[in-house]
């Protein structure tokens, strides 16, 4: 019964994100979200190093309306020195959710995606992830919304 419930919730969430068979997920921009929710950082970020350069970090965020977000921030020097760089940013739960959005170029300092209900999976544990220029994925802390950090963070080096 739990599997059906999680699958039903997952299907509803995917439809809300605009994913159909063969479709692509796109997250609504931050401006489309309500400003009534307060956003806070959760756990520790995962850092990305690309050919010895610090490229930036990915971290999980939570809004007070019950959603988990993934937030990427480019390192300023990397942004300036690598105008063709790109990042994929995503959310993952080992308990039944894995999705990423992108690619995003260096022309935007911050990328925030997701807005997924934290209770979409059970247990409600999440991590943010990012990959720069096709490099290995970096992960922020895996956070369980029952009140503990379970794993991570994991840095990425290429």
For residue range 94-133, list pLDDT tens digits in order.
Answer: 999 999 998 999 999 999 999 999 999 999 999 999 999 9
Does domain 37-157 bear CATH number 2.60.40?
yes
User: What's the pLDDT score for residue 33?
Assistant: 54
Residue ranges for the chain with pLDDT beneath 70: 1-35
Whole-number Å distance between alpha carbons of 85 and 81: 9
Supply the pTM of this predicted model: 0.77
Q: Where are the domains of the chain?
A: 37-157
User: What's the pLDDT score for residue 104?
Assistant: 96
User: What's the pLDDT score for residue 20?
Assistant: 31
- In our burial notation (b when 16+ CB lie closer than 10 A, e otherwise), range 95-105 reads eebebbbeebe
Element (H, E) at 23: none
């Amino acid at each position: 019964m739990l599997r059906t419930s999680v699958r039903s919730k997952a299907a509803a969430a995917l439809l809300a994100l605009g994913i159909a068979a063969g479709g692509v997920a796109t997250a609504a921009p931050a401006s489309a979200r309500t400003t009534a929710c307060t956003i806070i950082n959760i756990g520790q970020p995962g850092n990305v190093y690309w050919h010895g350069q610090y490229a930036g970090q990915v971290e999980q965020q939570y809004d007070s309306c019950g959603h988990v977000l993934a937030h990427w921030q480019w390192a300023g020097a990397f942004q300036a020195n690598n105008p063709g760089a790109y990042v994929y940013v995503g959310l993952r739960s080992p308990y039944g959710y894995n999705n990423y959005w992108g690619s995003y170029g260096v022309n935007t300092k911050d990328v925030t995606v997701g807005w997924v209900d934290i209770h979409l999976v059970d247990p409600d544990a999440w991590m943010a992830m990012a990959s720069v220029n096709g490099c290995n994925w970096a992960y922020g802390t895996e956070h369980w919304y029952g009140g503990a950090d379970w794993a991570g963070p994991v840095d990425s080096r290429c």
